[in-house]
Amino acid sequence: MPQDDPRGPAETEHIRVGDQSVRHRREFDAPASAVQRAHTDPERFVRWMGPHGTTVRLDRFDAVTGGAFRYVVEAANGAGWAFRGSYHEVVPGRIVHTWEYEGEIGVTLETLRFVDLEGGRSALEITSTHASKEACDAVLASGIDAGMDEDFERIDELLAGQG
């Protein structure tokens, strides 16, 4: 990204790619392996997942090919939102998993690519493919982009703290 880009280096791109899919892209000031570790290490994962002011309870977190996850994002007022999925592939530079919010019907297939860039930076490229065009429309209308942006800001904070 050019230095004079008004968006700044940390903004996430959210681009509709077809009727059922959205591509999200974010650059980080850390190697791709560190960003991927934030997605696969349970101690790191709970430090960035969910909005500020929430905590994450892991009921299951086996971030390996053939593994699965279930976690609950918990608010201070006792409200909670549960998510689950299955890992189809977890290899260096790539994760493929399903993702489902238990409060709604529909499963999303996500492919995450962790790409090294020059200068020790990296990019995370996620393609989210929804069950239908209507499901994709609903997710985009829900404001998930802002929530994802906040999660990525929390990853920035986590990675900065690794020194």
Q: In the prediction, which pLDDT does 10 show?
A: 52
Residue 71 falls inside a structural domain: no
Answer yes or no: are the C-beta atoms of 124 and 26 closer than 8 Å.
yes
* CATH number where 39 lies: 3.30.530.20
Residue 2 lies in a domain: no
- 101, part of any domain: yes
User: 24-83 pLDDT, tens per residue?
Assistant: 999 999 999 999 999 999 999 999 999 989 999 999 999 999 999 999 999 999 999 999
Overall number of domains in the chain = 1
Residue 120 CB contacts under 8 Å (≥ 6 apart), including other chains: 29, 30, 31
Kindly state whether residue 4 falls inside one of the protein's structural domains: no
Is beta strand 21-28 parallel, antiparallel or unpaired with respect to 122-129?
A: antiparallel
pLDDT at site 162: 65
The answer to the question of residue 5 being in a domain is: no
pLDDT at 44: 97
Q: What residues contact 118, with CB distance under 8 A and at least 6 apart?
A: none
> Containing domain of residue 45, as a range?
13-51+88-161
Q: How many Cβ atoms are within 10 Å of 45's Cβ, its own excluded?
A: 20
Q: Answer yes or no: is 73 within a domain.
A: no
Residue 37, in any domain of the structure: yes
Residue 119 lies in a domain: yes
